[in-house]
Homo-oligomer: A and B are copies of this chain.
Amino acid sequence: MQSVRSGDRWMLRLDENEDVLGAVTEFARREEIRAAALLGGIGQVRRATIGYWDGTQYRPRELSVPHEVLALSGSIAQADGAPSVHLHLTASGPDFEVVGGHLLGATVGALLELPVATFPGRTFGRPMSETLGLRRLDLEPGADV
């Protein structure tokens, strides 16, 4: 991965065969990013698993052929003392049809470009919501306690 910064903005370039969630999480850990938006990266994934939240769990779907990445959007928060990366993938296959969902896992294909916008001075949380049964972004974790 390459990563460059300009003010409160980063551009990441992930490389062939990198694990997307692992690489973004490691980036957040290394740069101590505690609050950020991930803004619509493009590129290609070699394979990916996406999920649809059915109210109880994520039902998975495997994408087993390379797909163009049309968007990889989400956020970086902190949960249990570590970076929590939440991404949704929009991707198109050989027939140009588009599939998408919650990103459960992905491996980079030819390349992946991912812009990141940080919120200096902020820490986002991602506590488990008992009501929803999933982790929910909390923009002011201190204020909620």
A-side residues, CB < 8 A to B, are 2-4, 6-9, 11, 13, 16, 35, 37, 39-42, 44, 50, 52-55, 59, 61, 66, 68-71, 73-75, 86-90, 92-94, 96-102, 109-111, 113, 115, 117-122, 124, 132, 134, 136-140
Known pairs A53-B68, A68-B102; A2 contacts B42 (CB<8 A): no
B2→A86 contact, CB < 8 A: no
Which single member of B7, B40, B122 contacts A8 (CB below 8 Å)?
B7
Provide the bound-state CA to CA distance between A96 and B101, in Å.
7
Which single member of B55, B59, B73 contacts A42 (CB below 8 Å)?
B73
| Inter-chain contacts of A93 with B (CB < 8 A) | 52
B115→A117 contact, CB < 8 A: yes
Q: List 29 A-B contacts (CB under 8 A).
A: A2-B140, A3-B139, A6-B119, A6-B122, A11-B124, A11-B139, A16-B132, A39-B117, A42-B86, A42-B87, A52-B93, A53-B109, A55-B66, A68-B100, A69-B88, A70-B71, A70-B73, A70-B89, A70-B90, A70-B100, A70-B101, A75-B115, A90-B92, A90-B98, A90-B100, A92-B101, A96-B100, A98-B99, A111-B136
A92→B99 contact, CB < 8 A: yes
